[in-house]
Amino acid sequence: MYIHRRVDIMEFYVGKTRILIIRGDITEQNTDAIVNAANNSLMGGGGVDGAIHRKGGPTILEECRKIRENKWQNGLPTGNAVITKGGNLEARYVIHTVGPVWGGGDLGEPELLASAYRNSLSLAVSQGLRTIAFPSISTGAYSYPIEKASRVALKTVVEFLKGEDQLDEVVFVLFSSPALDRYRDIARELMTT
């Protein structure tokens, strides 16, 4: 009998940075930072955001409140990123970024999504971090189609890493098998072009 064994991890390198594509829960990652798909308010929400605040505890929200008071009184603009400690999470830091709400694709969504990834990576580098884990930003409540979002995510990260060698590892943590499959398909495609 032929048994098909699914291998749920994909790995490749850009320079000396390892990129991992895995299925899992972002709140369980032990990278230096995990990225939160936050909203402009930084005051928590559903999906990844809710899970991170629930598991990380109230100190994260406290820090977000201070960031709002000190710099972003009207909310964090879409595409930007800020950093807090990780509270009770295994990750030492949480990078909060805001992806775009999908509105059909002609409202600057690809560039805003790319900015969310780029600014998160820049912040990690400027803080001296070496490992970072991303969820699939904007593809839940914000309805960005996964095929399009995964392409932007992977392309942006690969481009960033071509000009930066401080990071040891970037992990894409997908919550579902279909999302994992899409990311793996796009990664394979990008590697052969």
Contact (Cβ atoms closer than 8 angstroms) between residue 161 and residue 167: yes
Identified catalytic residue from 32, 49, 106, 181: 49
Q: Give the Cα separation of 142 and 107 in Å (integer).
A: 14
Is residue 135 close enough to count as binding ligand ADP by CB under 6 A?
A: yes
3-state secondary structure of 40: coil
Q: 35, 48, 112, 167: which one contacts ligand ADP (CB under 6 A)?
A: 48
The interface region with ligand ADP, picked from 11-19, 73-81, 120-128, 172-180 by CB under 6 A, is 172-180
Residue with tokens 């098909």: 4
Give CA separation, 25 vs 41, 81, 149, 163, 176, in Å: 23, 21, 19, 29, 10
What is the closest distance, in whole angstroms, from the C-beta atom of residue 175 to ligand ADP in the complex? 4
The interface region with ligand ADP, picked from 58-66, 106-114, 136-144, 152-160 by CB under 6 A, is 136-144
What is the closest distance, in whole angstroms, from the C-beta atom of residue 103 to ligand ADP in the complex? 13
- Based on the residue annotation, tell me whether 49 is a catalytic residue of this protein: yes
Q: Give the Cα separation of 171 and 132 in Å (integer).
A: 6
Cβ count within 10 A of residue 58: 10
Is residue 51 close enough to count as binding ligand ADP by CB under 6 A?
A: yes
- Which 64-123 positions form the footprint of ligand ADP (CB under 6 A)? 99
Q: Give the Cα separation of 164 and 130 in Å (integer).
A: 11
Query: Which residue ranges make up the site for ligand ADP (CB under 6 A)?
Result: 25-27, 37, 47-49, 51, 99, 135-142, 173, 175-176, 179
Known catalytic residues? 49
